[in-house]
Amino acid sequence: MMFPSILPQLWLRCWLLVALLALLLPVAQAQQKVKVVTRTLEQSWGCPPGMPVTIQAEKATVRVQGWNKPTVQVVLRLSARHPEQAVAEQDLPVARYRLQQSGNAIYLVNFFTLPTGAPAVRSDLRAEYTIMMPTGNPIKIVNAYGQTELTDLTGQQELEQSFGKIALRDLRGTIKVTARYTDLTASNLQANFTCEATKSAVQAQGLGGNSTMNNYFGSVRLQLAANLSKLTVVADRTEVVISAPQPELFAYQLAVQQGTLTVPTAYAASKKSSASRATLTASKGASRRVVRVTTSYAPLTLQTEPLSPSSNPSCFIPLPLCSAYTPCASIGTCFG
């Protein structure tokens, strides 16, 4: 049956259409010069080893960079955008925040609150965090309708993102990501990495360490580093591409239900196929580093060619569709 096998591609195309419409909607407004009103807050705290940093963000860009100082330094910019300066100034106070140390933890929070009886918000409200923190301290982030970037961290990292983009670079330690309707890109992960994704596009290059990944109704594209110790991917209605420039370093256990399995010529003899299922169990050496992948109703590919950095399809809803309140949640319900 062919129809189920094309569901992931149809879903991704649907989101691309939504993205295109989102780009077309603000064309009329683009003819007017937008006024930007900004409030900038800066704060820092001493952060000894083990002190956690917790971020609760909404419609925010969150950039976190590790450094070798025992200090957390935060710059938070709240902004309102509208063609009329007076409207932007009126709406900016709706963007609220809390930056504080409570006990043995640091909390960074932004949110949007409209006072009772106040007129509806007409501006595009945004928040932008720039955070420098000790490399090895634990961090937990919850972000909705935004973008999150983590760089040069080595401790325990936990991220939950709904809608938007995630970028992970040069990370070690332990990483746990929960992603919904999100584009996730990663490079040089040498960590214990766990990813639970739904309707998300996931791409990683230079994937080392020990990784476990689940994704449903999305896409997974992974390029393996030579020091990868173990990889497990469990997917459904999700196209999976595994790039292994040095394929002999690993053993493979691949399976696809109601989909196609493509492997390099050197592994073709180990491939087994039936009417509804295709598998590959192979090892070119004595390697105990196993790559296990299962998916269904979508293609599964093992290749030796490197991934293209721009080959990941976009799956997220662009932020111009989202207000500070409920429209994004409504869209997510419609397509969820």
- For 225-275, write each residue's pLDDT tens digit: 999 999 999 999 999 999 999 999 999 999 999 999 999 999 999 999 998
More confident of the two residues 6 and 191: 191
pLDDT at 31 over 70: no
Q: Which residue has the tokens 């983009």?
A: 165
| Phi, psi at 217, each rounded to 5° | 60, 45
Give 143's pLDDT tier (boundaries 50, 70, 90): very high
Phi-psi region of 89 (alpha: psi -120 to 50; beta: other; left: phi over 0): alpha
Average pLDDT, integer, range 291-298 = 96
**What pLDDT shows up at residue 117?**
82
Say what the pTM is. Answer: 0.83
The pLDDT score that the predictor gives to residue 119 is 86
Q: Check residue 135 and report its DSSP letter.
A: T
User: Which pLDDT belongs to residue 321?
Assistant: 33
pLDDT of residue 326: 31
Rounded distance between C-alpha atoms, residue 120 and residue 74, angstroms: 30
Exposed, middle or buried by CB within 10 Å (0-12, 13-18, 19+), for 258? middle
185 has pLDDT over 70: yes
Looking at residue 291, its pLDDT comes to: 96
Cα distance between residue 318 and residue 310, in whole Å: 18
pLDDT at 327 over 80: no
Q: Residue 145: in which H helix or E strand, if any?
A: strand 139-151
